[in-house]
Amino acid sequence: MTRLIPRSRRLRCGLLGLPHGASQALVPTFWGRVGHVVDLAADFRLRDGDLYPTWYGEDHEVPDLLTDAAYGLPELFRPGSG
């Protein structure tokens, strides 16, 4: 997995557009090595790992990263969308 990350430390953002569940295995690889990680799936949408079985039918693989993740919905936070 580390081959996915360029050796350059200038990478500011990693963008993941994977099916639900796949990002949970990759985000820890990027975390701390890339300025920002953007995950388009729902893998880091909820801040409480205990809610994942209720909403998604499975445990979250890296619940310790959930509290540092920020959920953003562009349609909700875009200027002038209010």
Instruction: Give the model's confidence band at 51: pLDDT under 50 very low, under 70 low, under 90 confident, else very high.
Output: very high
Mean pLDDT of 42-53: 94
Q: What's the CATH class of domain 9-77?
A: alpha beta
Cβ–Cβ under 8 Å, residues 35 and 11: yes
- Segments in 1-82 forming alpha helices (H): 23-30, 52-56, 74-77
pTM of this structure: 0.73
Show contacts of 63-69: CB within 8 Å, 24+ apart. 65/27, 65/28, 65/31, 69/44
Domains of the chain by residue range = 9-77
Q: Per-residue pLDDT tens for 2-12? A: 555 555 566 78
Predicted local distance difference test score (pLDDT) of residue 19: 92
